[in-house]
Amino acid sequence: MAGGVTGGGSGTWSDRFDQGLHPAIERFNASIGFDITLLQEDLDGSIAHARMLAECGVISAEEASQLCAGLETIRDEAAAGSFRPGLADEDVHFAVERRLITLLGPVGKKLHTGRSRNDQVGTDLRLWLRRRLDELNDRVLRFQRALLQQALDQRTTLIPGYTHLQRAQPVCLAHHLLAYVEMLERDRQRLADVRGRVNVSPLGAAALAGTPVPINRRSTAEALGFEAIYANSLDAVSDRDFAVEFASAAALVMVHLSRLAEEVIFWASEECGFVRLSDRCATGSSLMPQKKNPDVPELVRGKCGRVFGHLQGLLTMIKGLPLAYNKDFQEDKEALFDLVRTTSDCLEAMAILMEEGVEFRPERLERAVASDFSNATDVADYLVARGVPFREAYQLVGAVVKRCLQDGVLLLDLSLEQWKSFHPVFEADLFEALAPRQVVAARVSEGGTGFVRVEEQLKRWESRLA
């Protein structure tokens, strides 16, 4: 392993070491296989650091210029596919520094002045996650817009509303879809909140205690777009709260995706038949030619486990770590990389599903809401409006439903005379009140499913998501 960053016989380490790592331990220790993902952020952070060193008089302006040019050369090499670090480089930071020394000679050895890999990796990771948070926000926004468009298209369509997966009351389909738009808005707020705590610079905290080198941490923070710097160097290099917070926010995104996925699977079943799946968003069976399978929502539902697992893994990783940096932190990257990739892919897939993969069947939905007892509560409301105490009305309607079930009829099948046999206040206007569309229209309380209220919310979301 001769010829490492320092030029010592032990490779990457100082002359404190006489021998290189055992080959198996070298493989076990290395993170280059996955933290090369942070290459662009590592180059950005290193360029800002080099310029700051020159500003503070630690290195000359000419040396800073050479360092920045060398770092940009590595960026170009990476784009061209010719920068291919290997196991001996251990991680992305040493890989960059080693290549820089090869390109520049002794000047390249000055780049690491006043910093450590501990604050360097923390900076890289925050820069990487900050960018991905912005991309995830865009994907959530796209999904919200897809749901909103479906809601606009189905603003007068009814759908059975459920509690305990039992028919409860009919609702406006647009109202049902807008519930997910609301959930996703909270997701966007959480992601933005996480971004605020990600956007704090640890650079310059060095290994754990700061540095005697006369650096300007606020200069690099400003150059890299950070809003603040860590006030405590120990906290700066050991904080992974932001990783856990992001994992938690991502887990809730996946919860919301999975809930809708479960409903789409249910809606697409032959037993339900509320939606048709397009050929572009469904697959078939290798054996049964008639099948059309809801693979997209099933995969989204299944991938929740990966995201939830990463959240638990990150919590477990940091729960017992003493200050400050520990090698355990190497385990945060693969989790974060997969969290972002999985959540992003699922958001895109569900957006496409809503944009072109799901076709609602209004006629089937209309028949569904007209063929159950989900208007029973409206009989109780009818009685209450005519002075009958609610609990008395509740018991009476229960008896009516019981009689209907025994006779195999629905509430709207009863004649006015039969209704009057239960209570004399019933009149012919009851039948209008029990019509599914009127049942929905009557729910005019703020936040309710009444068509007037739904139109208000559609206009609100059209404005917010424009």
* Catalytic residue, candidates 60, 269, 285, 371: 285
The answer to whether 164 is a known catalytic residue is: yes
* Catalytic residue, candidates 82, 164, 415, 463: 164
Query: How far is CA 299 from its chain centroid?
Result: 15
Task: Count Cβ neighbours within 10 Å for each residue of 324-349 and write b for 16 or more, e otherwise.
Answer: bbeeebbbbbbbbbebbebbbebbeb
Rounded Cα distance, 423 and 300, in Å: 51
Per-residue pLDDT at 17: 75
The answer to whether 49 is a known catalytic residue is: no
Look at residue 345 and give its three-state secondary structure.
helix
Contact, 267 vs 159, CB < 8 A? no
Q: Going from the N-terminus, what domains does the chain have, and what CATH number goes with each? A: 23-113 (1.10.275.10), 127-185+236-361 (1.20.200.10), 368-464 (1.10.40.30)
Averaged over successive runs of 10 residues, the pLDDT of the chain (466 residues) comes to 44 69 91 97 98 98 98 98 94 97 98 97 98 98 98 98 95 98 98 98 98 98 98 98 98 98 97 95 84 94 98 97 96 98 98 98 95 94 96 96 96 96 96 96 97 98 97
Per-residue pLDDT at 10: 44
Rounded Cα distance, 300 and 342, in Å: 9
Pairing state of beta strands 275-277 and 358-360?
Answer: antiparallel
Per-residue pLDDT at 6: 46
Nearest to 437 by CA among 359, 351, 378, 350: 378
Look at residue 347 and give its three-state secondary structure.
helix
Strand locations in 165-248 (E): 166-172, 200-201, 228-229
